[in-house]
């Protein structure tokens, strides 16, 4: 059977795609850690966080400058000033950065500062945006829509690929469930399922999946255990004062231990080959 997402499908592309982004490789033998705050807030916050991500062996720094908030009265992000602070912090520690782009008109400015363009859950089906990032010279991290089927998600990836951008990374962040105690419903089986369907790298965002900091580490471990190519985790120097998603922010001070746990899980499931690569 021929999949409707011909470019994203594994049928004609049996080998895994490795996405290279300014020195980071997503989809290779080693899972990557992407971490940073939900929102870029100020220089000190970004530099402190960037140093913690670097010291923890992180590969990519995240931080939102244009924020898709549920309420119009919530903090909307610092915009271009936030992009500048994110890029400055990434450069200070030598890490590439990923940040969200919300509309086609922002692609140029976000591309000027970011190594990877993030398309958020609320925009997964925004075909104008998908086409615009498909024409950009930057890798695209495409989050799953909060009520999207796997096929809808892969067809969204297809929009980007069809415009000529081959560097697409899928990011599972959970879907709407019926359980109010968890922000979303994270099904780890999605990762091995995607392996059968697509050659694109798959990462997991446990932070938006669970919505509370005490469950981020176990959910991240589960993602690595099922073979995810990486995890994206929200961290903050002082979660109590975080402007957005405070409840799910892991303190920067806890990131080194969390990263070590993830490496242990990766070694356990990838066996001696990963062990040799890590040493």
Q: Closest separation between CB of residue 25 and Mn ion, Å?
A: 25
64 binds ligand PEP (CB under 6 A): yes
Q: Which H helix or E strand runs over 154?
A: helix 150-162
Q: What does 90 interact with, of Mn ion, ligand PEP, none (CB < 5 to 8 A by kind)?
A: none
Q: Which helix (H) or strand (E) holds 219?
A: helix 216-225
* Among the listed residues 68, 79, 177, 256, the single contact to ligand PEP using CB under 6 A: 68
Which residues between 22 and 41 bind Mn ion (CB under 5 A)?
38
Region binding ligand PEP by CB under 6 A among candidate stretches 86-94, 102-110, 117-125, 129-137? 117-125
Residues from 239 through 278 that contact Mn ion (CB under 5 A) = 245
Among 90, 129, 140, 143, which residue sits at the site for ligand PEP (rule: CB under 6 A)? 143
d(CA 201, CA 28): 9
Between 5 and 66, name the residue whose CB sits nearer to ligand PEP: 66
Taking the complex as a whole, how short is the minimal distance between the CB of residue 121 and Mn ion, in angstroms?
Answer: 10
What is residue 11's three-state secondary structure?
Answer: coil
Which residues does residue 116 pair with via DSSP β-bridges, in sequence order?
Answer: 98
3-state secondary structure at position 141:
strand
Radius of gyration in angstroms for the set of CA atoms belonging to the chain, rounded to a whole number: 17
Task: Give counts: helices (H), strands (E), the chain.
Answer: 9, 11
120 binds, among Mn ion, ligand PEP, none (CB under 5 to 8 A by kind): ligand PEP
Contact pick of 19, 21, 26, 38 for ligand PEP (by CB under 6 A): 38
Residues whose CB is less than 8 angstroms from the CB of residue 23 and which lie 6 or more positions away in sequence, other chains included: 94, 96
CA distances to 17, 182, 192, 206, 259 from 239, in Å: 35, 19, 33, 17, 18
Q: Does 141 bind Mn ion (CB under 5 A)?
A: no
The residues binding Mn ion (CB under 5 A) are 38, 245
The residues binding ligand PEP (CB under 6 A) are 38, 64, 68, 100, 120-122, 143, 173, 205, 208
């Amino acid at each position: 059977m021929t999949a409707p997402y011909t470019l994203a499908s594994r049928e004609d592309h049996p080998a895994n795609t490795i996405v290279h982004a300014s020195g980071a490789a997503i989809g290779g033998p080693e899972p990557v850690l992407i971490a940073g705050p939900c929102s870029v807030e100020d220089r000190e916050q970004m530099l402190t966080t960037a140093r913690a991500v670097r010291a923890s062996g992180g590969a990519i720094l995240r931080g939102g400058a244009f924020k898709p908030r549920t309420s119009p009265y919530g903090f909307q992000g610092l915009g271009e000033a936030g992009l500048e602070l994110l890029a400055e912090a990434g450069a200070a520690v030598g890490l590439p950065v990923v940040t969200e782009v919300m509309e086609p008109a922002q692609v140029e400015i976000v591309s000027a500062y970011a190594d990877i363009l993030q398309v958020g859950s609320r925009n997964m089906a925004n075909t104008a945006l998908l086409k615009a990032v498909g024409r950009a010279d930057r890798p695209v991290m495409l989050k799953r829509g909060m009520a999207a089927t796997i096929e809808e998600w892969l067809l969204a990836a297809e929009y980007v690929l069809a415009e000529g951008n081959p560097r697409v990374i899928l990011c599972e962040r959970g879907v709407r469930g019926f359980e109010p105690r968890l922000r979303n419903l994270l099904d780890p089986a999605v990762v091995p399922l995607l392996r059968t369907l697509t050659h694109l790298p798959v990462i997991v965002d446990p932070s938006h999946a669970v919505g509370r900091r005490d469950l981020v580490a176990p959910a991240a471990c589960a993602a690595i255990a099922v073979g995810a190519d990486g995890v994206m985790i929200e961290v903050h120097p002082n979660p109590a004062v975080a402007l957005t998603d405070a409840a799910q922010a892991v303190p920067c001070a806890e990131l080194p231990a969390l990263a070590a746990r993830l490496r242990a899980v990766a070694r356990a499931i990838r066996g001696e080959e990963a062990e040799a690569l890590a040493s």
